[in-house]
Structure 1
Amino acid sequence: MNGKIVVYSPGRANLIGEHTDYNDGFILPFAIKRYVKIEIEPSKKFRVFSEQIKKGIEFNTLEKTNSWADYVIGMIVKLKEHGYDVKLFNMKIDSDLPMGAGLSSSAALEVGVGYAILSMMNYDINREELAKIAHECEVEFVGVRCGIMDQYAVALSKENHALFIDTMTREYKYIPFHLDSARIYLVDSGIKHELGSSEYNKRRKQCELALEAMGKKSFREVTMEDVERLIEPVLKKRALHVITENERVLKTLSALETENLQLVGRYLYESHYSLKDNYEVSCEEIDFMIEQFEEYADIYGARIVGAGFGGSVIVLANENFERIFEKVSQKYTTKFGIIPKLLTVETSDGVFRLE
């Protein structure tokens, strides 16, 4: 076993392809240069300390605690199930990733913990397998029925690229992400969602019911005609979002190839309004922000990002955006009494060890 190891595990943003990853859809995420930092070294007990909340936990048994520690305990459990030896360790966790902002802090923690443990134990690390184990931790141990996007993006991303993933086949490819005249920004709305909330799992269930009603096994078999035949209005709306969002991802790929940022921006706005009206995962605060952004030509496009019900907005804009943001921020604060935060975003490699 090694001595102290330091691992940086990035957050992720998703350019487009929201709520499609658990529906056999297409997604286009990328890792960002904001990280969960994990220090690990061999110990005589399992000890984990969070710098962010100034709390630690010691444990001997690998049982659920219904706290943040479950992301660590769950990874130990899942690594062992996959045949990896996990010795006792002391772990310190810190982060500059805002919690609850839709930037996938939980996947960053899971993948980072797994990478740190495997590094400490001197295993060769297969990043795809690590992503799958982290996904199992989230779904089976923590209990959030998320898709694979977050764990894949955190484990597999490459700087200056987006990661196009077909979630049905789990195949992926790197898409050059050169914006030149534009930048990606993330605006933290200050409204926090709980990803484990009943609404998220409810959306998954509604998608399953929509497939059942259409007599299909996967949304990849579904046509617009199938959707039109759905009688139950809510199921029709959910299905409509999934198949149109898949189309938008493919159209965004084409627009990126020709560096047509106006088109990419249009698809972002279209995605937002589908998430608002068809998937119903937006909120008043974020809708207000998007409406403000639409008034400025310097902003190509924007949409809610992440699970929804708050979190962040991803924005594609030129460098005048910071000035525009100040104006919109003042209106937002006046209306809602909340100060939004602006994060500039740079693409990052996936999880890595500090050598």
Structure 2
Amino acid sequence: MSSSLAQAIQADFQQRFGYEPLLVRAPGRVNLIGEHTDYNGGFVLPAAVDKEMTFAVGLNGTEKIRLAAHDLGEYFELANAAEISPSDTHWANYLLGVAAQFQLRGHAVPGFDCVFAGTVPMGAGMSSSAAVECGLAFALNHFLKTSLEKMELARIAQFAEHTYAGVQCGIMDQFASLFGRDGQVVRLDCRSLDYEYFPFDTQAARIVLCNSGVKHSLASSEYNTRRQECERGVSVLQQHYEGIGSLRDATMEQLEAVRSELGGTVYRRCAYVVQENARVITACNCLIAGDLAGFGKEMYGSHAGLRDDYEVSCAELDVLVEAAKAAPGVFGSRMMGGGFGGCTINLVAPDKVDDFIASVSKVYEEKFGLKLETYQTTIVDGVGVMAE
């Protein structure tokens, strides 16, 4: 058994339900580059990381669904697995939504028990919700012998979030949790769902996340506005060019040609997305060449675009990126996720990690009077059964 958390969850399960569970781990994720490209049919470059959710799951031979959130010390029970609907218990909905998706695909879900907990920091943009969904989807696929492909499990998890949690997420988070590979990042084409692995040498660079500790209230309303601005750009482009299904199909030359029609704001939003897709491609070529400095340069470019053209950064994130630039041993840094708070992701030489954390923390505290929370992560395999 790999962790004390897994042992605690196994013990909790046995104490509550009196039999041996299957143990499953589902990782959170980081996205190295490719932000706000997913809903524009573009490229993302996520990796599964060693902050993860751990599950003990078993079929209980009854009609009941019994769920326990080990961390929260909370318990949820549904009398009949055949009658699943969204509940008032927020955390339970992520799990119920997954079971409901199996039913919608014609797979009867019998009564089951689940105890779960995790080390994915909440609110840090590492997709704790996707990890929760994917872990249970994997376990049910195992028990029900449904033999569903991993991409189908990712869809189940994504639709669970849409229907039971009310979050219209793309597929990247669930994809990364399921398809992650130790020592590799995976480039997903969000249009075709084709994907390709690239080597990432965690001996040469560590992934360090700096949590701004803020979440500005703008985040969700501005996210929807950005989606609309991108759609507006696509509809203008479609009037002039054949074959534009999304911003993925657009070039900078085309944007320049219709710039006056787009207007300044929509032009900048679209330009960011077109350039960000190009940065993902360049960044992957840097990984093949073992050029971490080149990769880092694309990360800085990504942050500048998010700050100036897409306008989803904030003072806290900008200060963290500037502080990273000035710190020793840093290859690259940028904001990660939807924006207006959350984390920056930083690639740091292993022997400089402590110095990096010290110097960036000092700047952050001086500027905002806030203690900086940091997480060091390493890249791991996707969802799987935990070895005994």
Aligned to 1:19: 36
Structure possessing the higher radius of gyration over alpha carbons: 2
> Which whole-Å CA distance do the structure 2 matches of 1:315 and 1:273 have between them?
15
Contact 2:219 2:340 in 1 (8 A): no
Q: Residue type matched to 1:314 in 2? A: I
Q: Residue type matched to 2:361 in 1? A: S
Listed as ranges, the matches of 1:30-41 within 5 Å are 30-41=47-58
Aligned to 1:343: 375
Picking from 250, 256, 260, the partner of 1:222 is 250
- Confirm or deny that 1:75 pairs with 2:107: no
- Confirm or deny that 1:86 pairs with 2:86: no
Shift in Å, 1:120: 2.7
- Confirm or deny that 1:64 pairs with 2:86: yes
Shift in Å, 1:197: 2.6
- Count of aligned pairs between the two proteins: 354
Shift in Å, 1:85: 2.2
Listed as ranges, the matches of 1:321-340 within 5 Å are 321-340=353-372
Contact 1:164 1:172 in 2 (8 A): yes
Listed as ranges, the matches of 1:1-355 within 5 Å are 4-43=21-60, 44=62, 45-60=64-79, 61-65=83-87, 67-192=90-215, 197-215=220-238, 216-228=244-256, 229-230=258-259, 231-318=262-349, 319-355=351-387
RMSD: 2.0
Identity value in percent: 36
Contact 1:5 1:120 in 2 (8 A): no
> Which whole-Å CA distance do the structure 1 matches of 2:123 and 2:131 have between them?
13
> Which whole-Å CA distance do the structure 2 matches of 1:350 and 1:155 have between them?
5
> Which whole-Å CA distance do the structure 2 matches of 1:232 and 1:328 have between them?
38
Structure 1: segments with no counterpart, 5+ residues? none
Shift in Å, 1:54: 2.1
> Which whole-Å CA distance do the structure 2 matches of 1:193 and 1:127 have between them?
34
Q: 1:309 to 1:53 in 2, by over 3 A?
A: farther
Contact 2:158 2:174 in 1 (8 A): yes
Contact 2:306 2:312 in 1 (8 A): yes
- Using structure 2 for the length normalisation, give the TM-score: 0.86
Q: For residues 270-300 of structure 1, give each alpha carbon's deviation from its aligned partner in whole angstroms, at most 9, with x where no partner exists.
A: 1011111222221211111111111235211
Contact 2:219 2:338 in 1 (8 A): no
Moved more, 108-117 or 62-71: 62-71
Q: For residues 243-262 of structure 1, give each alpha carbon's deviation from its aligned partner in whole angstroms, at most 9, with x where no partner exists.
A: 10000000001111111111
